[in-house]
Amino acid sequence: MDAMITSSTLSFLRGLRADNSREWFELHRPEYQEAYGEVIGLAAGLLREVSAFDPAVAASGLDPKNCIMRIYRDVRFSRDKSPYKTNFFVFINRGGRRSSFGGYYVHIAPEGESFAGGGVYMPEPAVLELLREEIGGHFSEWRSILSDEAFSKEFPEGVLPSGLLKRPPKGFDADDPAIDYLRYKGYYTRRFFSDAGVTLPGFAGVLSNLFRTVKPMVDFLNRAL
């Protein structure tokens, strides 16, 4: 896989972070278009790789452009009126990024804030309920997936929540063996990368291996949906 992110993409994001204005963005639109092209290339390469080991993604016929989140922020209900996101985000999943299915993602940002992983982040309540039922009903399998040696090596933080309930969710007992996970509001993994790591020629290959490692967890979650 020859797609890669260069230092110019990180430089563009660094500049946008320093001056998040429409004036700066328009002045540097050529740099944005170049950076966007690199991310499209990365998304296309990753989509081919993921499709090779995830039949559900392969059957979805995704367009790489639709796997990239828009850089324009929705500021209608936000106190922060900055017009642009200061990162690129690629999300590859069954049914496309507007579906509820979990998937694989990479967040590109400067200053060592890039990360990649897989899972379901901040699902809707009905979806979250299904995920909790799956984990509670098949906890030994869930625990086995998370204790896998390769999984633990790639994701030393383990599975992270999108937020935590202070009390057990409705319908679940406080003494349920899976209660720590049932209090989660989402299930995702994350591995950070330095700027030097992101711009290495082999970065896309590292991501592909990372996604293969998290696939059993993604499959488990998607099974509930």
* Residues 121-176: tens digit of each pLDDT: 999 999 999 999 999 999 999 999 999 999 999 999 999 999 999 999 999 999 99
The reported pLDDT for the residue numbered 78 is 83
What is the bridge-based pairing of β-strands 187-188 and 191-193?
A: unpaired
The reported pLDDT for the residue numbered 43 is 97
What is the percent of the chain with per-residue pLDDT over 70, rounded to a whole number? 99
d(CA 48, CA 59): 12
Regions of the chain short of the pLDDT cut 70 = 1-2
Number of Cβ within 10 Å of residue 164's Cβ equals: 10
The reported pLDDT for the residue numbered 99 is 93
The reported pLDDT for the residue numbered 160 is 98
pTM comes to 0.95
The reported pLDDT for the residue numbered 2 is 61
The reported pLDDT for the residue numbered 76 is 86
